[in-house]
Amino acid sequence: MSRIGKKPVELPSGVTAAVSGQTIEVKGPKGTRSFSATDDVTLSLEDNKVVVEPRGKSKRARQQWGMSRTMVANLVQGVTQGFKKELEIQGVGYRAAVQGNTLKLNLGYSHDVDYVAPEGVTVTAPKQTEIVVEGIDEQAVGQVAAEIRKWRAPEPYKGKGIRYKGEFIFRKEGKKK
C-alpha cells in the first residue's frame, strides 16, 4: 500500500482543479499546469481535494499511485508558491550577470558562456556569485539549474565551480612531496 497515495491533495484558496479522464488541470495565481496520469490510477475531485486511487492490485498500479499523487501535489505547489533553486559560484574571477533572459557566465574559459533561459523559467543573479532559478514547473527549474551547474561542476581539490546552495563538496588531499 502506498502511504503517500492514500493522502488526498488539498487545494488552497485561489486554486481550482478540473479533472477530465486521466488529465488534471490546475489553475492558480502563478499560472496553469496540467498532468496526464497513466491508466493504472483514477483521478477524482472530492470537496476541494484531489484523490488518487489505484486501479487493481498490480505492482505497476501501486507504483503509479504514489507517483501520480506526488505529481498532482507538485502542480498545486507550483501554481501557488512556485519552485526555486539557488546556485553559488566559487572561484577567483568566476561571476554571473543577467541581460534580458540570457545568463552570462565568466567561468575561466577563453570565452563567456551565454545561457538562454527557456520559457517559463526565470534566471536572476542578485550578486555576481549567486544565481537564482525560479518557475512553476519543478522539472524545468531543476533541469535549468543542472545545465548551468554543468558548465563548471565543483572540483574536489579546491572546490571551485558552480554548486547548489548548501551543497557539500567532498574535498580531496593534494599531492604530497
pLDDT digits (tens, 9 = 90+) for 117-168: 999 999 999 999 999 999 999 999 999 999 999 999 999 999 899 999 999 9
Catalogue the long-range contacts made by 88-92 (C-beta closer than 8 Å, 24 or more residues apart).
Answer: 88/129, 88/130, 88/131, 88/162, 88/163, 88/164, 88/165, 89/128, 89/129, 89/130, 89/131, 89/161, 89/162, 90/129, 90/154, 90/159, 90/160, 90/161, 90/163, 91/152, 91/158, 91/160, 91/161, 92/160
Instruction: Provide the β-strand partners of residue 34.
Output: 25
Q: What is the mean pLDDT of the chain?
A: 93
CA distance 124 to 115: 12
Mean predicted confidence (pLDDT) in 86-106: 94
Give the predicted TM-score (pTM) of the model: 0.87
Does 25 have pLDDT greater than 70? yes
Residues 87, 76 within the same domain:
no
Q: Report pLDDT digits (tens) over 45-56.
A: 998 999 999 998
Residue 1: what pLDDT?
A: 63
Q: Which domain holds residue 31?
A: 3-80
Q: How many distinct structural domains can be found in the chain?
A: 2
Residues 33 and 61 in one domain: yes
CB 98 within 8 A of CB 124: yes
Evaluate whether residue 170 is within a structural domain.
no
In a shared domain, residues 123 and 110? yes
